[in-house]
Amino acid sequence: MLTPAARLAARRLLGLASSSASEAAARRLAPSPIAASSYAAAARGSVPSSRPFSTALNYHIDSPENKPDMKWEFTAANMKKVKEILSHYPSNYKQSGIIPLLDLAQQQHGGWVPVAAMDAIAKIVEVAPIRVYEVATFYTMFNRTKVGKYHLLVCGTTPCMIRGSREIEDTLLEHLGVKRNEVTGDGLFSVGEMECMGCCVNAPMIAVADYSKGSEGYTYNYYEDLTPKRVIEIVEMLRRGETPPRGTQHPERKNCGPAGGNSTLHGEPKPPPCRDLDAC
């Protein structure tokens, strides 16, 4: 026999369960606003530029420059790299090379991977195309729409945000006259966001993927300790075809060291007493 308090608690739990079930059913029946706008855009054959970045990764829409029936193949020079990449894996595990092959295709194709390139890779590694699609859509460093010859990626993780990464991004977007993930009219620049570049001590920072010289001259460099003024100077140097000094942009720092030089560790550190380093 339940006490009055237990009966009251049971009624409340049943009421909550009933309410939750009703809400879940309503959510299943009601279309998502994001999905509805995406489907409508797909029906029109266009995709709004203001769509959330995550939804841009989830589907493909044919366009004159990106459709499966287009011919795409690696250059002769890159086919040598393809063979070298596949030589690292057993012959019955060619699919292990999908990620480096997608990266090579992206470098060759000016910073993004069309669906025809994914199909070509699927043939090379002898898998169904969906096996390549699922890799290309999972990793955000594979771009499936056009980017600029200089793709500028702003670190948006907490340490960089605290140190002013939002101001750096706003400065870039305003200076270039674009929104995030848009390409400038001259095709030179695009601005995106990346999560944690692993150099928090030099926050805020950006990475620049340089596709201006194709896969042979591809570079990917970090520019750290940025200010709004300095990031504009870097953009203008790139526009002129110059190579900005990579790494920290702080005039008094060297790599990740403190401004003004070390205040400790001026000499050779003592070896740990519990290990014989010569025996290693």
Tell me which residue has tokens 């970090």.
222
Report the pLDDT value the prediction gives residue 46, as an integer from 0 to 100.
45
d(CA 151, CA 184): 11
* Per-residue confidence in pLDDT tens, the chain, 280 aa: 556 655 665 666 566 555 555 555 544 444 444 444 444 444 444 444 444 444 455 678 888 889 888 999 999 999 999 999 999 999 899 999 999 999 999 999 999 999 999 999 999 999 999 999 999 999 988 999 999 999 999 999 999 999 999 999 999 999 999 999 999 999 999 999 998 999 999 999 999 999 998 888 999 999 999 999 999 999 999 999 999 999 999 998 888 888 888 888 788 887 777 766 566 5
**Cα 114-149-238 angle, rounded to 5 deg:** 170
Spatial contact of 193 and 168, defined as CB atoms under 8 Å apart: no
What whole-number distance in Å separates Cα of residue 276 and Cα of residue 149? 51
Residues 6+ apart with CB under 8 A from 2: 10
So what's the pLDDT on residue 155? 94
- The confidence score (pLDDT) of residue 263 equals 82
Sequence length of the chain is 280
Tokens of 98: 């999908």
DSSP-derived 3-state class of residue 208: strand
β-bridge partners, 66? 63
| Helix, strand or coil, per DSSP, at residue 78 | helix
Is 164:123 a contact under the CB 8 Å cutoff? no
Q: Provide the pLDDT for residue 268.
A: 85
Q: Which uninterrupted H or E stretch holds 41? A: helix 33-44
The predicted structure's pLDDT at residue 107: 95
Give the model's pLDDT for residue 59: 72
Q: Residue 229 has what pLDDT?
A: 97
Assign domain 150-248 to a CATH class: alpha beta
> Per CATH, is 76-138 categorized as 1.10.10.1590?
yes
Instruction: Parse the chain into domains and list their residue ranges.
Output: 76-138, 150-248
Query: How far is Cα 158 from Cα 203, in angstroms, rounded to an integer?
Result: 10
* Helix, strand, or coil (residue 155): strand
Q: Which of 169, 167, 224, 160 is nearest to 192 (CA)?
A: 169
